[in-house]
Structure 1
Amino acid sequence: MLIWRLQKRVLNFVHVPPPHCGVDIVDAIYKCLKECGLKNKVFTVSMDNASYNHSCLRFLREIFSRNRRLLCKGKLFHVRCCAHILNLLVQDGLGEIGHIIENVRESVKYINQYEARKQTFSKIVQQLQLGTKKLVIIDFPTRWNSTFQMLLCALKFKDVFPRFQGRKPNYDYLSTPEEWKNVEKVCEVLEVFNVVTNIIFDSDYPTSNFYLSEIYRVKEILNLKAMDESDFIRRMVGKMKGKFDKYWGECNLLMVVASVMDPRCKLRLAEMFFPKIYSEAETRNNIEQVRGDLYQLYMSM
């Protein structure tokens, strides 16, 4: 039985003096690949969407194209980092509802600032018999998953905050019942992103065969919440859908190839999900394009 094991190696750490530009990064990468004897063995490169990375990949593609033929005419050479794209989607969405999150964030900060406040809060929690005694999660605004965990934690104590204000009149960050309902709706959306992120990235083995189905899960929740009765949820999801269409509006060949290589899925997964992601015409074109690229990939091996 053939078992694939993911291999990770750090080849080098290279100091590239600022200001960074694509040419400088290409020189550093190519020198490293050459020294390690890997310059003709690169299949694909994954980077985030920083502007200098775009120019870097363009120059690197030109270099490799001169020395050898890239698979599928280079369609597989540059793969955008899925984690980075998911982060961009969520950050865009959260930016639309910052005022909702800010009250919760400031409440958590206020309560955790002094031990006396934490003890007062804990006593109320015990009186209400909520089980968990501490409100300890403070988020990092640049990490959406920490914001999600903070909101989830705060939701458990939504009945505690009004009683806490009664004992601490200087506490000015109390959310209204309507705002807590909005927090719940936000968490429903973020829960899907959290699950997708954990499935794809919190793993010690290759999971690229799951990418297509998980990205469809994201598309499904965005489509559903785009018709939500709440105006602020529609605004939030609208921003996220715009980012989704920008990066995944076109067929991602590598995702489909990975799912086809899974004998449980083959091309059936694409044939099932594509009509739910693209228009009828786009679905036909994408499936034909994928089938042609797969034949080309097979013949080049």
Structure 2
Amino acid sequence: MDPANEVANRDVPISESAEHSTSTLPPLPTTSSERKNRSIVWEHFKRTPDDESKAQCQHCLKVIKCGNGTSAMRSHLKICISNPGSDRGKRQKTGTSPSPEAQVGRFDAEYAREKLISMFVREELPFRFVESQGFKEYSAALQPGFNTLSCFTLARDILVLHETKKVQLQKYFSKYGGRVCLTTDNWSSCQNMAYMCLTAHFIDVDWKLQKKILNFCQVTGHTGEIMAQNVEACLNSWKLNKILSLTVDNASSNDDGLKEIDDSVAKIRDAVKYVRSSNSRLTRFKACIAQENIPHKTLVCLDVETRWNSTYLMLVAALRHQKAFELLEMQDKKFVEELNKGRGVPLFQDWDYAKSVLPFLEMFYDATLRISGSSYVTSNLYMKEVFALGRRIQ
């Protein structure tokens, strides 16, 4: 019998033959769409809408290339300081330092760059400092493989860090946030540009008092309407609606009780401004202090006109040096000429007016220091201080 016919005449079940034939076939190749986002790292990344070859970290918002695989994303997750599962994230959360064995590892340029950015933010260094020759030589001595940044790159990275921290704080407010107390700080620069800073104060889950700056911006003025508009815009951008209180600082729109003696205070302020305007004038004023044998080592200080508590400090220092100002008036003709262009030299009655208002201002100054403390809770002190002031000024 023909071997071929013998094989063909064998009694083999059709189903068994079919099963054997299909099991030996190689698996069908998966398409790119089926393979996309299969890795576990995609739980931490999302593809950028404008470029599918890049993905953005959901922890620190950094964009990583992913066109050739997920290895770059895996490496980033291990060192991402905002990822709670990474070694750096754990150290930042627990506040512990790396072990000596970890410190001896290979140089990590990305980690060094993050620490460089953090240093400039914490120490408030000018961005140009990163391009100075001394800083470059120092960095090269520590690690020749580290490439220093330009001031523009540093500024861009700090903005990215700001957005990252803002997202983290927004998540905290939405998840754990209770009522938040807000304070505003307003001032004008030497270029007469108005600024406002909005700060949030709250108790965290560990019952610790926290203080976070929400906004620092230039404003068109310090009126109540402008301040309200800027505060509202800031809260809307933060999506923050659980507000307990809003405390504003001293401003020109507030009644400060000094209008009755405004001319006397203005004359003393002009005298202080004169002696503080140049080194030669300050030297002549120090000579008058020495001739009058005034024991105080501190000199006069110029106040901020919209802050009555700083005006109180200016008046205290000026009254200590009243005799020195009177002697300067007799010895320095330019002092008299300069002040006569305005309100004139302070007279005896001006010094008496300032002296009479000091006890009144001192009460408010001391109460303000106690109520405005930032390292301890002050809400329980507020009513006590207010009633105490009310009894003393009656």
Q: Rg: which structure is higher?
A: 2
Q: As a proportion of its length, which structure holds more helix?
A: 1
For CA contacts below 8 A with separation 6 or more, give which structure has more relative contact order: 1
